[in-house]
């Protein structure tokens, strides 16, 4: 009996050591087939967005209405025409409520969808960490093409987010 217990423990240890560590998705990984709740309260299946656009940018930010998150969103808003001409759909994600996301979008005139990921379904699907002692997602961005992550920014910029994305797209052509 002791031998069985030892073998079982060894198997669990081996499995734990060889399992892929959970963390943010990497370039080449499949984009998560996840759904989220938009700022209007509607469900959005990310797979539908991936299929409808050449590129999808999914960016994560800690808190609607804060200075860094506003700068990041405004960067994307101000370059939205350039992004859409390149075939990019933009989706912003935070753990804020539907009402907070709606107010954030309206106050800043964002032309793209915001996801109220209060249960962290989308955040967890992308492997985005939260800040210690908080529910807030760390600032990260993922560019998706043909159902795969083609670019991951684990320290996503604020004021330069759109410029960074456009550089990646230009390098793809």
Choosing from 31, 57, 64, 69, the catalytic residue is 69
Q: How far apart are CA 12 and CA 27, in angstroms?
A: 29
69 is catalytic: yes
Catalytic residues: 69
């Amino acid at each position: 009996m002791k031998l069985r217990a030892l073998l079982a423990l060894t198997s669990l240890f081996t499995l734990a050591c060889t399992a892929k560590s959970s963390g943010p998705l990497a370039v080449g990984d499949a984009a998560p087939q996840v759904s989220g709740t938009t700022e209007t309260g509607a469900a959005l299946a990310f797979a539908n967005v991936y299929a409808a656009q050449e590129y999808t940018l999914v960016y994560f930010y800690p808190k609607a209405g804060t200075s860094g998150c506003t700068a990041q969103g405004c960067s994307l808003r101000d370059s939205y025409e350039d992004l859409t001409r390149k075939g990019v759909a933009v989706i912003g994600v935070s753990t804020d409520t539907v009402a907070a996301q709606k107010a954030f979008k309206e106050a800043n005139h964002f032309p793209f969808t915001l996801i109220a990921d209060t249960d962290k379904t989308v955040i967890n699907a992308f492997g985005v960490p939260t800040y210690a002692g908080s529910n807030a997602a760390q600032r990260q961005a993922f560019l998706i093409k043909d159902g795969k992550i083609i670019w991951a920014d684990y320290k996503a910029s604020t004021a330069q987010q759109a410029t960074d994305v456009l550089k990646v797209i230009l390098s793809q052509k």
